[in-house]
């Protein structure tokens, strides 16, 4: 059967709004970097082209969560645990839905400004706020189990192992909390450079250690007993004359494999594979990315800062394929669903790329408010939240 042709949706929009959106997309990097320097890189968004689709996206249900991510587009990505999907807005509304039907199971107003992505695990939902609070909510009814204070605003989703919750704040401090009551266990500080990206890395915690990337380009492995570093490695080295050129934030989350390899991305520098036990470098490739990579089998998938999608072999970092169709469109961090990489973009389109060959496979317009947070996937199901709070669930079909 001939594959359906995937036409550019929404092409009836007026030319002026599209030009304005393109201009906005080209200036986003300055906002993300917290500056308006003329030396900031500018990527002109590519216009979307028609292509032959090899998959389809079918809408299952949609709803709206509060008022969205706010003008600052806080990275409040949804989270799924079992058959529950959790989503929130920047003003403090948190809701739980049936992942299958979209039926709302509960909604609470925390009366505090949420700023972080959500993390749902083992019956609890964790989040951070603009005033540096960390909250644990009961997944059954949204009731607050405990509140704890971190050192500053929290933008990264708090990360849990069996005993503790690890929180990275915008001031570069790592705080470990007791998962049962929120009591502080230890803290670890890092030195911030003069200018950083808006955001922080997300810790990766396992039972004995926590891996954390900092805005100064360093990666550290912290002992979970006391927060002391076991080893540190300079992943990205600042270079250039301006503060913008010297940005080297490790803004993604390190990815760890069962055999003890770490994959780390950095802004303005490189992707690095390390031996997790000692921090020895296995390989490195010159690719700038502020996003968490995705590892599937023996391939590592990277969304670069110019919105190229690159597949590397996990063993040696060799490039397998590169897709440039979405260049400059400010795609989200990648997710993986049913053999496809999944991205949102600044115009509110959801894109599927075939993980085998890097070809575009499907496209669906979600909302022209834009999509800036990573979609959540489970098998062939995709949950995507637009910046204005629209929450849509789709199914990948062939």
HSE on the CB side for 19, CA within 13 Å? Answer: 3
Between 364 and 245, the more confident residue is 364
Over residues 158-176, the mean pLDDT reads 96
Instruction: Indicate the average pLDDT of the chain.
Output: 89
Tell me the pLDDT tens digit for each residue of 71-130: 999 999 999 999 999 999 999 999 999 999 999 999 999 999 999 999 999 999 999 999
From 28-32, 128-132, 313-317, the region with the lowest mean pLDDT: 28-32
pLDDT tier at 213 (50, 70, 90 boundaries)?
very high
Give, in order, the Cα–Cα distances in Å from 189 to each of 119, 130, 196.
23, 19, 16
Place of tokens 């494999």: 257
The set of residues, in sequence order, having a beta carbon less than 8 Å from that of 198 and lying 6+ positions away, is 31, 32, 33, 34, 72, 155
Q: Which of 209, 224, 298, 187 is nearest to 254 (CA)?
A: 209
Burial class of residue 378 (count of CB atoms within 10 Å of its CB; 0-12, 13-18, 19+): middle
Over residues 287-293, the mean pLDDT reads 96
Residue 32 has pLDDT above 80, yes or no: no
- The rounded distance, in Å, linking the Cα atoms of 292 and 254 is 7
Angle CA 109–112–115, to nearest 5:
105
The set of residues, in sequence order, having a beta carbon less than 8 Å from that of 320 and lying 6+ positions away, is 299, 311, 312, 313, 358
- The rounded distance, in Å, linking the Cα atoms of 62 and 104 is 11
Residue 34 has pLDDT above 70, yes or no: no
Tell me the pLDDT tens digit for each residue of 250-287: 999 999 999 999 999 999 889 999 999 999 999 999 99
Tokens of 230: 């076991």
The set of residues, in sequence order, having a beta carbon less than 8 Å from that of 47 and lying 6+ positions away, is none
Over residues 161-177, the mean pLDDT reads 96
The predicted structure's pLDDT at residue 246:
78
The predicted structure's pLDDT at residue 368:
96
Query: Alpha-carbon dihedral of residues 372, 376, 381, 387, nearest 10 degrees?
Result: -30
pLDDT tier at 42 (50, 70, 90 boundaries)?
low
Give, in order, the Cα–Cα distances in Å from 276 to each of 68, 226, 282, 294.
38, 19, 10, 17
The set of residues, in sequence order, having a beta carbon less than 8 Å from that of 173 and lying 6+ positions away, is 150, 151, 152, 187, 188, 189, 190
- The rounded distance, in Å, linking the Cα atoms of 158 and 205 is 10
Check residue 18 and give left, alpha or beta (phi > 0: left; psi -120 to 50: alpha): alpha
Q: Which of 208, 212, 116 is nearest to 164 (CA)?
A: 208
- The rounded distance, in Å, linking the Cα atoms of 213 and 367 is 33
Highest mean pLDDT among 20-24, 196-200, 203-207: 203-207
The predicted structure's pLDDT at residue 13:
36
pLDDT tier at 17 (50, 70, 90 boundaries)?
very low
- The rounded distance, in Å, linking the Cα atoms of 85 and 73 is 20
Q: Which of 239, 237, 289, 238 is nearest to 263 (CA)?
A: 289
Over residues 184-202, the mean pLDDT reads 83
The predicted structure's pLDDT at residue 239:
78
CA 82 to centroid of chain Cα atoms: 20
Contact 140, 123 (CB under 8 A): yes
The predicted structure's pLDDT at residue 393:
98
Contact 126, 119 (CB under 8 A): yes
* DSSP helix/strand/coil, 148: strand
Between 331 and 27, the more confident residue is 331
Over residues 198-215, the mean pLDDT reads 91
Over residues 145-174, the mean pLDDT reads 96
């Amino acid at each position: 059967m001939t594959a359906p042709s995937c036409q550019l949706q929404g092409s009836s929009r007026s030319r002026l709004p599209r030009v304005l959106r393109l201009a906005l997309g080209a200036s986003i990097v300055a906002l993300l970097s917290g500056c308006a320097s003329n030396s900031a890189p500018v990527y002109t968004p590519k216009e979307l082209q028609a292509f032959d689709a090899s998959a389809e996206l079918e809408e299952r249900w949609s709803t709206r969560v509060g008022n969205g991510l706010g003008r600052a587009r806080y990275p409040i990505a949804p989270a799924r645990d079992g058959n529950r999907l959790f989503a929130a807005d920047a003003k403090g509304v948190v809701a739980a839905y049936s992942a299958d039907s979209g039926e709302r199971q509960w909604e609470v107003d925390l009366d505090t400004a949420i700023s972080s992505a959500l993390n749902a695990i083992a019956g609890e939902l964790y989040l951070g706020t603009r005033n540096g609070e960390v909250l644990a909510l009961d997944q059954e009814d949204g009731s607050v189990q405990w509140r704890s204070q971190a050192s500053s605003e929290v933008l990264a989703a708090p990360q849990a192992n069996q005993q503790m919750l690890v929180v990275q704040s915008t001031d570069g401090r790592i705080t470990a909390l007791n998962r049962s009551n929120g009591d502080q266990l230890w803290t670890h500080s890092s030195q911030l450079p003069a200018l950083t990206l808006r955001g922080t890395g997300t810790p990766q915690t396992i039972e004995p250690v926590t891996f954390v990337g900092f805005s100064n380009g360093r990666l550290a492995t912290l002992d979970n007993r006391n927060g002391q570093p076991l080893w540190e490695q300079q992943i990205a080295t600042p270079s250039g004359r301006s503060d913008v050129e010297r940005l080297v934030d490790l803004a993604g989350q390190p990815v760890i494999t069962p055999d003890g390899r770490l994959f780390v991305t950095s802004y303005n520098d490189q992707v690095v594979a390390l031996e997790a036990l000692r921090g020895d470098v296995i390989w490195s490739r010159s690719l700038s990315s502020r996003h968490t990579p995705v590892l599937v089998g023996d391939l590592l998938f990277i969304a670069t800062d110019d919105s190229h999608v690159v597949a590397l072999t996990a063993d040696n970092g060799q490039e397998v394929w590169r897709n440039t169709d979405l260049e400059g469109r400010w795609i989200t961090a990648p997710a993986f669903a049913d053999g496809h990489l999944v991205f949102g973009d600044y115009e509110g389109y959801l894109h599927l790329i075939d993980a085998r060959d890097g070809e575009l496979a499907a496209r669906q317009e979600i909302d022209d408010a834009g999509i800036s947070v990573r979609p959540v996937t489970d098998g062939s199901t995709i949950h995507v939240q637009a910046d204005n709070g629209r929450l849509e669930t789709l199914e990948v079909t062939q």
